[in-house]
Amino acid sequence: MAAHFRKLALIGIGLIGSSIALAARRQGLVDVISIATRRQETLDEGHELGLGDIYTLDPAEAVRGADLVILCAPVGTYDALARAIKPALEPGAILSDVGSVKEHVVKVVGPHVPSGVSFIPGHPIAGTEHSGPSAGFAELFAGRWCVLTPVPGVPEEHTEKLADFWRAMGSSVECMDAAHHDMVLAITSHIPHLIAYNIVGTVADLEDATQSEVIKFSASGFRDFTRIAASDPVMWRDIFLTNRDAVLEMLGRFSEDLSVLQRAVRTGDGASLEAMFTRTRAIRRSIINAGQETPRADFGRPVVAPPPPETNVVREHGGGDDA
Ligand code: NAP
């Protein structure tokens, strides 16, 4: 099998690392999986879930003899991790990652990659708001994109082998430049998270009475922001610290567009509002057509029907509603 590896080392075993372990195992893509974490509790949890074969708190030990190493920790840890694993990386190995930003990863990991090791950063565009080893599931990457940003000079066959690995886990793969990735993800992922954190933060600052009303009536829209705003705080802190330029560039455009909307609301410019909302509806349709979202109403949430009306109800007091 083109995508087969002898030993896969996963540094970090949260949502993404555990999903890779489960998917790679299910598809028979690896013989041995070694896992390294920072904390003993996380390592024990991964062990109890049977996610790997070798468990260690030493990242260098985990990567020794591995022909595929994937960093699956928050990107803020990458610099120290790259320094730690450098002496143990085997010539001929592929070193990759799943970090949500890519230029920063190239900058901090790149200088520590020994010659003979192929450095191919990656980013599966798949996830949930849950974290930790028990959050993973083998189907996480099915039908989702995985972006690879190989650095210059990496053998083509290594990029193709890693792409095959992701395809075997159900992903479609696209290669692009790291800076381009960061700009695209700034608007498709990072700014939406910033907006969600902001709107939910605004509610958190409201006085108690108003806040309880917002929570009570949250199904009117607010609730959908809270899912995104429940994402892991450390991971998202690192994303905003490491993709600053692209986020600020896109935030500038967003603010300008928001001012246009604000003006339309203030001046009662219904035609502009309607034109804008018609364009945005078309974007939603194209995401559904691209298979990246369900066409079902309300994201396919189950409808909780009210209980059927009771029959033969004995009304002790004759009922007063009929008059
Ligand atoms: P997560 O569920 O919070 O898990 C993070 C893992 O990293 C934990 O196992 C943690 O172990 C480990 N870790 C942290 N510091 C470490 C260190 N110094 N050395 C070794 N392991 C360390 O995170 P995740 O959601 O899987 O995200 C991991 C990466 O995937 C991030 O870079 C993120 O940007 C990227 N990503 C996330 C999503 C998403 O939706 N969640 C989507 C695409 C990409 P301890 O508990 O021991 O600290």
Average pLDDT over residues 237-250: 96
Going by pLDDT thresholds of 50, 70 and 90, the confidence category of residue 163 is very high
pLDDT, residue 316, reads 41
pLDDT, residue 277, reads 95
Asked if 90 and 113 count as a contact pair (C-beta separation under 8 A), the reply is: no
pLDDT value at 322 more than 80: no
Going by pLDDT thresholds of 50, 70 and 90, the confidence category of residue 1 is low
Atom 38 of ligand 1 has which residue's CA nearest to it?
127
pLDDT value at 39 more than 80: yes
- Any bridge partners for residue 54, and if so which? 34
What's the structural domain count of the chain? 2
- Give the rounded percent of residues in the chain with a pLDDT score beyond 90: 83
pLDDT, residue 282, reads 94
Q: Residue 5, CB half-sphere, CA atoms under 13 Å: how many?
A: 30
Compute, in degrees rounded to 10, the torsion defined by CA atoms 107, 110, 111, 113. Answer: 160
pLDDT, residue 208, reads 87
269 and 236 inside one domain: yes
Burial 199-223 (b: 16+ CB within 10 A, else e): bbeebeeeeeeeeeebeeeeeeebe
Residue 320: inside a domain, yes or no?
Answer: no
pLDDT, residue 317, reads 39
Mean pLDDT, all residues of the chain = 93
pLDDT, residue 321, reads 36
* Ligand 1 center–CA 76 separation, angstroms: 10
- Report the C-alpha gap between 62 and 14 in whole angstroms: 16
Residue 321: inside a domain, yes or no?
Answer: no
* Closest C-alpha among 72, 61, 91 to residue 21: 72
The atom number, within ligand 1, closest to the CA of 135 reads 2
11 and 154 inside one domain: yes
Alpha helices in the chain, H assignment, sequence order: 15-26, 40-48, 59-63, 78-85, 103-109, 156-168, 178-185, 191-204, 208-216, 222-229, 233-242, 244-267, 270-289
Candidate of 22, 42, 69, 134 to mutate for ligand 1, largest count of ligand atoms within 8 Å of Cβ: 42
* Ligand 1 center–CA 153 separation, angstroms: 28
Ligand 1 pocket: which residues have CB below 6 Å? Answer: 11-17, 36-39, 42, 59, 72-75, 77, 81, 98-100, 123-124, 127, 131-132, 135, 232, 235
31 and 145 inside one domain: yes
Residue 323: inside a domain, yes or no?
Answer: no
80 and 225 inside one domain: no
pLDDT value at 54 more than 90: yes
pLDDT value at 314 more than 50: no
* Ligand 1 center–CA 251 separation, angstroms: 26
Atom 16 of ligand 1 has which residue's CA nearest to it?
38
pLDDT digits (tens, 9 = 90+) for 172-199: 999 999 999 999 999 999 999 999 999 9
- Report the C-alpha gap between 102 and 39 in whole angstroms: 25
**Cα 218 versus chain centre, distance:** 24
Going by pLDDT thresholds of 50, 70 and 90, the confidence category of residue 319 is very low
Residue 158: inside a domain, yes or no?
Answer: yes
* Ligand 1 center–CA 11 separation, angstroms: 9
Long-range pairs of 158-162 with CB within 8 A, sequence gap ≥ 24: 158/94, 158/118, 158/120, 159/118, 159/120, 160/2, 161/2, 161/3, 161/94, 162/68, 162/94, 162/96, 162/120, 162/122
* Ligand 1 center–CA 114 separation, angstroms: 24
Tokens describing residue 51: 């996610």
pLDDT, residue 27, reads 97
* Ligand 1 center–CA 80 separation, angstroms: 14
Residue 273: inside a domain, yes or no?
Answer: yes
The atom number, within ligand 1, closest to the CA of 43 reads 47
Q: Which domain holds residue 86?
A: 5-177+302-311
Residue with the bigger pLDDT between 154 and 297: it is 154
171 and 217 inside one domain: no
Average pLDDT over residues 95-105: 98
CATH number at residue 80: 3.40.50.720
Cα–Cα distance list, 204 to 207, 213, 216 (Å) = 8, 12, 14
pLDDT, residue 300, reads 82
The atom number, within ligand 1, closest to the CA of 38 reads 47
Residue 316: inside a domain, yes or no?
Answer: no
pLDDT digits (tens, 9 = 90+) for 7-23: 999 999 999 999 999 99
* Ligand 1 center–CA 191 separation, angstroms: 20
Average pLDDT over residues 140-163: 97
Atom 11 of ligand 1 has which residue's CA nearest to it?
37
pLDDT value at 313 more than 80: no
Going by pLDDT thresholds of 50, 70 and 90, the confidence category of residue 310 is low
Helix then strand then coil, % of the chain, to nearest 5: 55, 10, 35
- Any bridge partners for residue 124, and if so which? 146
119 and 80 inside one domain: yes
135 and 203 inside one domain: no
Tokens describing residue 226: 């809270």
Going by pLDDT thresholds of 50, 70 and 90, the confidence category of residue 167 is very high
* Ligand 1 center–CA 96 separation, angstroms: 14
Range scoring the smallest mean pLDDT among 41-45, 212-216, 222-226, 274-278: 212-216
96 and 199 inside one domain: no
pLDDT value at 323 more than 80: no
Residue 322: inside a domain, yes or no?
Answer: no
The atom number, within ligand 1, closest to the CA of 77 reads 18
- Report the C-alpha gap between 193 and 175 in whole angstroms: 24
35 and 150 inside one domain: yes
156 and 202 inside one domain: no
pLDDT, residue 184, reads 96
199 and 166 inside one domain: no
171 and 196 inside one domain: no
- Report the C-alpha gap between 95 and 99 in whole angstroms: 13
Residue 319: inside a domain, yes or no?
Answer: no
CATH number at residue 215: 1.10.3660.10
